[in-house]
Each structure stands twice: as structure tokens, then as C-alpha cells.
Structure 1
Amino acid sequence: MSPVFTRIAFALSLLSAAPLAAAPCGNDGSGFAAWKSAYAQEASAQGVGAAGLSALANASYAQATINADRNQTGVRYSLDEFMRIRWSDAYTSQARGYLAQYPDFWASLENAYGVPPEVILAIWGMETGFGGNWGNANVVNAILTLAYDCRRPEFFGPHAIAALKLVDRGTISAGSIGAMHGELGHTQFLPGNILAYGVDGDGNGRLDMTNMTDALASTANYLRQKGWQPGQPYQEGTANFRVIEEWNAATVYQRAIALIASRIAQG
């Protein structure tokens, strides 16, 4: 082969090996359609199949998600304010009721993952009021919008790819409904966490975060995989409190979970 053709072949090999250029982010919906077209190449390269790519192509810009993301206030509350808004004595009683009603289930979770039931109940109650409010946002639209938005694409991009892979697997659909930031199910898992930590808790061969058993087993598994130490305390300053930090980055949320769990356990 001539030196010229050798150089051309070498250049082409470098081009084929080069990573795909990232799809450009945006701060409003005007560039979302173009972003989806570019992002489809990235998604395909990362193993997203036909169903996921179809969900991507048909996704809509979620303005309500952007509005919610721009106007978060909960992290600025004091612990007392946060508890007043997000929790109640009735929730504590409800949690204790679940604990008394399903003792074998909670014991099986603690035996399998080492996480005490009051911590799981605190998270479940805090996230959705024990399954009473999962949100009203289209999960795929929300997570893709956040992956496109220029504020935090590095964080939400992997979750967007995970969401599309979950569509491929049938774990969620293009029409699945959840919270404004794409969280799904009883304890509000982000798609990447479903993919990494989701557990088929009831053993029916299908992972379904809208199923209570699957969602709570997945929550326990997440905490254990993040370093939960069985039999150890979980109040502020402990190793297990640092695991609660892995669940939610807001200090007021972490402190609330530890406080609520202790109240449930006192019953």
C-alpha cells in the first residue's frame, strides 16, 4: 500500500475510534428536537435498542420539570420546618401499622440486607406517603429533558441512558409516570439506580418499582450496597448516617430520615 493510502487508512481508523461528540445542551425547549437526534447516536453506541430509541424519538420537552428544577426550596428549610411540611404523627402511626401488619416481610428484608425496617419505612413515607403519591410527570420526558438541560447534564445523562435501557427491558414504558425529576415508584428511584440496584423482591421474574415488594427490597439493597452496616446506629455522625447521605444529598432530608426512623422504632 502506498504511503498516501496508508496515511488515509490511518486517519480513517482514528475517526472510527474517536468518541461521538456530545449532543449540545440547551436552556429551553428550542433545541430539544435537534438534541434528540444527536443523542440517539450516543444512546445507540451505549447499547440502547429499538424500543428505547423509539421512546427517545417521541419524547417531549418537559417544561414543568424545568420549572420545578429551577424552584427547589426544600433544602433551605430548617429541620423543624421540613418535618412540619413533609411528615406528621399520622405518618408515624401508619408506619408502625405497616410494621405490625407485615412482621415476616420486614424481618426478611432485614435478614437479607441488614437494614432495619424503620429506615425503609421512613424513606417510603417521606418519598411517596407509602405509595400514595408517585408524581404525575412522564418519566422518560422528564429525565431526557434534564439530560438535555445545561445545568446538570453530567448527572442526568447516565440516568437518561438507563431510562431508555429500562424501556428496552420492559421495566418501564415510554408512558411511565413518576416524579418531576424522573424518579419512579414507591421510593422514587432514578432510572440509573433502578438499573444498578433494582431487585425482583417478589420473585415473579419482573422488576417493577410500582410493586411495593420490589421497591422496598430495592431500597434496602441500595443502602446495603452503599455501605450500610447491619446492627449499627444510623443517627447523625455515624457510618450509616453517611449511607443515608447517599440516598439524598440534602442534609435536612438526611436528618429527617434518621429522626423519623427513630420515632417509628420507639413504637
Structure 2
Amino acid sequence: MRALIFSLCFGVGLSASPVDAAPCGNTSSGFDAWKRDFATTAKRAGVRKKGLNALSQASYANRTIAADRNQKSFKYSLKKFMSVRGADTIVAQGRKRKARNPNFYATLERQYGVPAGVLISLHGMETAFGSFMGDSQVVSAITTLAYDCRRSDFFVPHAIGALKLVDQGAITTQTKGAKHGELGHTQFLPGNALTYGIDATGDGRVDFYNVTDALASTANFLRQKGWKPGKGYQPGEPNFSVIKQWNAASVYQQAIAIMAKRIDG
């Protein structure tokens, strides 16, 4: 796990060693003290005034902790997982979306090598094509998980990432996302958003709540993680391992591959 945090921290520009991080906790009682300590780590990592202010305003997210302890769907069988997540609906709506805007998806595939079906499946699975992008404050959620002892090493770099996104103006303290701090149309974790975000609209800002920026950023993430243009993405094929980089759950990976193939035809 230490090797993992060094790698992730480097990706979001965190220069502090893990041993310098503030001590974690399992209840809300230590959160305010942790924030004060973590501010030193964040500042050392390059977080500036706006990000540090956002950290000071973060609240302990009880709903995030409850969700983190209760991720039942990833333990389902593939058949049940696809049923619960509405795979047939995602495929039907995904085909229509591809047919309505084929040039958009073709452009993304030319630039990044990722087929439309994969991007559309991720978009549908994560937020039902943007219809629900979360109701939890991103900064509070992700800093709560960084403080929580269960997976602190994993979430600390993403907390730093979120604070840097505040510095950049990409998000604010009020930006809403998923209970684990994921944001935008495809639910990027903040450290990944910072590293792989693409301003595809050319307006000078990466906006993960804009579908163009979000899907270009998702395609960029997959390409940077090793996506091989023109190669397959079903289990056992070269690009299936890249889908694993998006979500570690086996049923999720298989569902994306199945839905994408049905959308791509």
C-alpha cells in the first residue's frame, strides 16, 4: 500500500511522504484536528489558499462512511449486477445516443482510440448519462475518506487532487458528486480528474459536468492507462485490463465489456 500511495501522490503532485500524513480516525470526533494537520501536508503538496480554505470548510460526511461500508452490488453475480444496474436500458439508450451524434464519438475514437460503446457504457453506468451526478459535496466526501482509517492511503492523493481542483476553479466547496467524492458525468475520482482532465470544448477550463469535457477526459484516462487502438476489450483481450483501471470490481468490468459490445454492434 505504501508503494501505491507514493505512485498516486506523484500523479497528483503530492511531494510529502506518507509518513508525514496526519493520523487517520474512525469517528467524526478527530476530523477537525485531522484537517488542521492535513493542511500542512496539503500545503507542502502545492495546494494554495482556495484549496486550503475548502479543506477548512469541509464537514465530516456520515453518508459517505455509511456508503463505504455497504457496497453490496459489487458482490452480486454478473446477471444480478447487470439487472440491478439497468444494463438493457443503458444499451438501448446508448445506441440512440451514438446514432444521434456519431461524429462526436468517432472524433473521440480517432483521438484516443477508445470505441463509442465503451465510453457510452461508462457514462450510462456511472450517472445514467448525466441524469444523476451525485448529491454529496465532493470536498467533504473525499476528505472524510482520506481521514477514515479503512482506506486512507488510497484516498489521501484524491483529497489533495480535489483541493487542487478548487485552486484551479474546476470545482468549488459546493460542487456535488457521488458519496465517494467522484465527480461529473463519468464520476472521476478527484486525483484522476486532475491528472487526466481534458478541455475538449476549448473554453480554457476542464468541466467534468460538461459531457464533452467529461467523455474526452474519460477517453484520455483509458488511453493513458494503456488502451490499444483497434484491439478488443472483451475478457482475455488486450484492452479488458484497461477497463479494470477504471473500476476494480470484476462484475463491473464484465458488464462494461458486454454492454459496450452490444452498443458497438
> 1:37: Cα distance to partner?
0.5
Higher Cα radius of gyration: 1
Give the whole-Å Cα distance in 2 for the aligned partners of 1:117 and 1:160. 31
Q: Please give the alpha-carbon distance, in whole angstroms, between the structure 2 residues aligned to 1:36 and 1:254.
A: 35
Match of 2:188 in 1: 189
Structure 2, unmatched stretches of 5+, are 1-15
State whether residues 126 and 187 of structure 2, in contact with CA within 8 Å, keep that contact through their aligned partners in structure 1.
Answer: yes
Deviations 1:59-83 (A, max 9, x none): 1000000000011111110000000
Which range is displaced more, 19-28 or 172-181?
19-28
2:230 and 2:218 map into 1 onto residues whose CA distance is 17
Give the alignment of 1:175-214 within 5 angstroms. Answer: 175-214=174-213
Per-residue deviation, residues 150-181 of structure 1 (Å, max 9, x unmatched): 01111000000010010000000011000000
Aligned residues: 250
Cross-structure match for 2:231: 232
What is the root-mean-square deviation in Å for CA atoms of aligned residues?
A: 1.4
Alpha carbons 1:146, 1:181 under 8 Å: kept = yes
Q: Is residue 77 of structure 2 the alignment partner of residue 78 of structure 1?
A: yes
Q: Which residue of 1 aligns with 2:118?
A: 119
CA contact (8 A) 1:36 1:57 kept: yes
Q: Aligned letter for 1:44?
A: K
Give the alignment of 1:55-94 within 5 angstroms.
55-94=54-93
- C-alpha separation between the residues in 2 aligned to 1:137 and 1:19? 27
In structure 2, the residue matched to 1:243 is 242
Matched, 1:157 2:156: yes
Using the TM superposition, give the Cα deviation of residue 18 of structure 1 relative to its aligned residue in structure 2, in angstroms. Answer: 9.7
1:132-151 to structure 2, matched below 5 A, reads 132-151=131-150
Alpha-carbon separation, structure 2, partners of 1:25 and 1:201: 38
CA-to-aligned-CA distance 1:223-245 (integer Å, 9 cap, x gap): 00000011111100112000000
* Identity across matched positions, percent: 59
* 1:186-222 per-position Cα deviation (integer Å, ceiling 9, x unaligned): 0000000011100001111110000000000000000
Q: If the length of structure 2 is used for normalisation, what is the TM-score?
A: 0.92
Instruction: Answer whether contact 1:20 1:42 (CA < 8 A) is retained.
Output: no
1:48 aligns with 2:43: no
Structure 1 runs not aligned, ≥5 long: 1-16
Cα distance in 1, alignment partners of residues 19 and 127 from structure 2: 39
The Cα of 1:92 is off from its aligned counterpart by: 1.5
What amino acid sits opposite 1:239 in the alignment?
P
Higher RCO, 1 or 2 (CA under 8 Å, sep at least 6)?
A: 2
CA distance in 1, matches of 2:158, 2:246: 15
Matched to 1:260, the amino acid is: M
Contact 2:87–2:259, Cα closer than 8 Å, also in 1: no
Q: In the aligned structure 1, how far is the partner of 2:17 from the partner of 2:137?
A: 34
Measured in 2, the distance between the counterparts of 1:88 and 1:113 equals: 25
Q: Which residue of 2 aligns with 1:7?
A: none
SS at match of 2:20: coil
Question: Counterpart of 1:264 in 2: which secondary structure?
Answer: helix
Distance 1:225 1:22 in 2: 28
Q: Paired residue for 1:261?
A: 260
- Distance, in Å, in 1 between the alignment partners of 2:52 and 2:144 is 15
Shift of 1:93: 1.7
C-alpha contact 2:126 2:185 (8 A) present in aligned 1 = yes
Pairing 1:101–2:100 present: yes
Aligned partners of 1:262, 1:95: CA distance in 2, in Å?
Answer: 11
> How far is 1:91 from its partner?
2.3
